[in-house]
Amino acid sequence: MNHRCARSCGTRQAGAALLIAMALMTLVATLASGMVWQQYRAIQVEAAERSRTQSAWILNGALDWARLILREDARTGGPTALSEPWATPLAEARLSTFLALDKDHNTEEGPDAFLSGSIVDLQSRYNLRNLVDGGKVLEAELLSLQRLCELAGAPSDTAQRIAAGLAAASVAAPGAPLELRSIGQLQWLGLEEGVVDRLRVYVELLPVRTTVNLNTADRDVIAAVSPGLDAGAAEALVQARQRHAFKSVAAASALLPDKKLLDERRVGTQSNFFEVRGRLRLDDRSLEERSIVQRSGLNIVPILRERVSSVVPER
């Protein structure tokens, strides 16, 4: 009997030891798995941050490309027109083609990345900053905006709401709304996103008052800022500038029956504000940067930069 008890106790002790060993192994395996997972996530975060930083540097290159072109255009002088090099977009190209001349760089290595870019004259659009002067809404400017809002299919009170919002924001008083700096911020005035998107074709919000460039604006914008000028006459100006860019407002006025239809306070032939877009496509991801730059002589200064990341749809 004593022998059976001793054997039974030994069996229970061995079983308990086995359970403790299995529990310890489970605990160790769990801790090891957690450590491996944390290490894996840390590597992923580091890789994503490195990719983001590299993409940002590449997009800075696109902005430098635009600044170089705009600076060279300023050296030549003359009017700002769509026939100039800045108006030709940078078609999407494999990034390795820009590095092909670098003998120390192996273009066969690394992922497929594609870079593209474009420059748009922002003075080809109506500047909402023209609406207000000294905190007061200018009636002639409001009529121009109303005409463009009708073309964009915006609600009938859109122009009034924009003008009122800009007038209120221009007053440095307690409780005044924040100053608007970009078109997207028009939603702060209660405008729907779809309305703002439709208006982007016709309007822009720049930091100072500007004229509309007769060499780059479409006929609707030219007609909107020129009371008495119909769409047909504005289209005639658009067709004429394709042959020769207008060097002055007087040169454009000479083509019209009434030489007083174009107001030099509202239209011009040169531009100092441009939108630069750079787009980097890597696999199924796309990173796009939008910059607004101001040209002052040979200086090209970014005044606003926005970056958007998106997924490229499958073709």
Tell me: the pLDDT tens digits for 216-269?
999 999 999 999 999 999 999 999 999 999 999 999 999 998 989 999 999 999
| Crossing angle for the helix pair 158-169 and 139-151, to the nearest 10 degrees | 140
**Do the two domains 45-123+272-311 and 124-266 of this chain adopt the same fold?**
no
Using a pLDDT cut of 90, give the percent of the chain over it. Answer: 50
3-state SS, 144-171, equals: HHHHHHHHCCCCCCHHHHHHHHHHHHCC
Query: What pLDDT does 23 receive?
Result: 76
Query: What pLDDT does 51 receive?
Result: 56
Query: Which is more confidently placed, 181 or 175?
Result: 181
213 contacts 295 by C-beta, under 8 angstroms: no
Q: Class for domain 124-266, per CATH?
A: mainly alpha
Measured CA to CA, the distance from residue 215 to residue 109 in angstroms comes to 45
Q: Where are the domains of the chain?
A: 45-123+272-311, 124-266
**Residue 208, amino acid:** V
What is the pLDDT confidence band of residue 285, given thresholds at 50, 70 and 90?
confident
Query: What pLDDT does 136 receive?
Result: 93
CATH fold for domain 45-123+272-311: Pantoate--beta-alanine Ligase; Chain: A,domain 2 (3.30.1300)
C-alpha distance across the termini of the chain, in Å: 82
* Reported pTM: 0.78
